[in-house]
Structures are given as structure tokens and as C-alpha cells.
Copies of this chain bind each other. A is one copy, B any other.
Amino acid sequence: MGSAQLIGLDWGTSSLRAYLFDDLGHLSAQREASAGIQSITDGRFREAFESLCADWLEAWPSAPVIASGMIGSRQGWKEAAYLPTPAGFAEIASRLLPVDELAGRRFRIVPGVSTVSAGGMHDVIRGEETQVFGALARLGSADLTVVLPGTHSKWVRVQQRRIVAFRTYLTGELFSVLAKHSILGRLFASQPPPAQGADAAFADGLARAAADPAGITSLLFSVRAEGLFGRYEPHSLPSYLSGLLIGAEVAHALADRTIGLRQDPLVLAGSEELIDRYRVALSLQGVSALPVAGAPAADGLLAIARAARLASPSPRELP
């Protein structure tokens, strides 16, 4: 094994991903366990971490650890209070939460970020802020919007390299609960869709939601009605539902004055499949977006650790 200066943990609800960074900041190893916080009983977080990273801990007894995600929530190891917007590298680095020393090893949790809209409405992110900082570490732009599709899709507005506003959409979770627990899912086929019909159904859903985003709670019922009338095959109904939900999200977010400014770059971070879906939805609105290069969560953990002097600066920042 070579040198190592930092262990990064992307520790969410359903998984724990660990990254090992060498002295130059290169990712030298990574591994994953299903030890998300929802699977941890009796507060045995330390044991889950030490079990996944035992050999790293033995080989580099003084390498610090930085963790982000739901591990810092009320249900996690230790609650890291939300940092309010605007939040840049300096603010977040100054608010890392120390966890009890682990045999002399520093262990820090990245706080989530909170914001309040002009209408006085709260919103929160926890974990995604790290991906945004990871994107910023890669990109030249100081002003951009980062879209992070997922269970809770986040549209995060960055100005002067600080998170200034964001908005969450329940898109992924709506898809999941409607497919599993509502009348809409009853017509779904259990096999995966044949690609062609599914793509057309997805595009149809996008177009209908884009034309009438305020009607989304009504459009959702059309998943059942169109299924009854055979407009879409049972195999394609999930794609139609996905199109409706993503279409409503994208149409609304692009029109939102806080997050949807179109003159700045729009970048996407997430799974390849979701990025593809969002690019199709955005292109329908005449907007292009590129995936963030690199591994945003790992890049963000390193970048925040560097800003907090838990890790040595990037070689290009050296004098």
C-alpha cells in the first residue's frame, strides 16, 4: 500500500461508501457496505465504520476521517446542526462537527445546509452539499446550478462558489410510494420494460407534465386511466409515471426565479440512468446540461477536508 492522508465517508440512509485518498489527493481505494444508518441498531456506528475500514485504520493510524450524509442527522451518529445559506467552503469547513476521538484519530462530520425561501419556507439538504462542493472543486464556474436527481431531487444554486439557495422535489420518493402502494402501481408489469415503448411513454409523460405542471396531481391519475384504455403497455406505465414526475419537476424548477436561472451552467450529478432521464427532460425545455466529471461525493469530501486543513492542499494550490 502507498501513502494515505484521509478517509472519506459518504454515509447515507441505505449505504456507507468509504474512500481512501493518498498524499496527493488521489483516490487510491474505495469500498461500499449496505451499512446505511437505517440498518444500524443500538447506535453501533463506530463498529460499522471500523468493520468496513479495518485494514485502512490499522495501516494509517493517524489519517483523519471526514463523513457526510445522514450520519450527521438526528437519527445518525451525532447531529450536525444545519448550516444556513449562503454556505461556501469557508463556512462549511468552520462548522465540521467533531465526533469523540477515535484512539487519537480526528473524525469530523460535515453539516447539512438549510435555507429559507422568500416565502419563509424551510428547505434542507444533507449529503448533497458535499457533492456540490465536489462539483465546484472540478469546475471552473463560480456561478452555476447543480441538479442532483434522486429520492429527493435537489436543485442547488451556487453563486461565487457559495450555496445561496436550493429547492427539493419529492420526485423519486413519489415514484416509489406510488408504484408500490397506490392504485397506479396495480397495472404495472413486473418484468422490465421493452425499451422502445417505455421511451415513448416517458417522453409522453414529460410533455404532458411540462404543458400543465400545476395539474400534476391530476395527471398522476392518468397513469391508471391510460393503462385501463391500453394507451401504454403495462411494461411502459412506470416510464410514463416517471416522465410525469420528472417533467413537472423540471418545468417548475426552470421557471423558479431562485434556482432556475438559465444564463449560468446547469450540471447534473447522480446515477447514469437518472442523468439520462433528466437530460431528456431538460432538452425538451431547450436546456442542455452536462454530468459533473469525477466522483462528486468523494471529490467533495476531499475538498472540504482541504478547506478545513484536515488534508494537505491540492498540489496546484501549493506555492
Contacts and interface: CB of A to CB of B under 8 A. Distances in A.
A285 interface: no
Contacts of A231: 122
Interface string A100-138: 000000000000001000010111100000000000000
Interface string A171-194: 101100110111110000000000
Given A114-B229, A181-B181, A229-B114, A217 B122 contact: no
A170 B215 contact: no
Task: Pick the most buried of A114, A215, A219: most chain B CB atoms within 10 A of its CB.
Answer: A215
Most B-side CB within 10 Å, residue of A170, A211, A213: A170
Contact of A169 (B121, B212, B218, B224): B218
Q: How many copies does the complex hold?
A: 2
Contacts of A114: 225, 229
B249 A217 contact: yes
B124 A170 contact: no
A156 to B, nearest CB: 13
Contacts of A224: 124
A5 interface: no
B182 A173 contact: yes
A152 B225 CA distance: 12
A176 B214 CA distance: 20
Contacts of A217: 169-171, 174, 216, 245, 248-249, 252
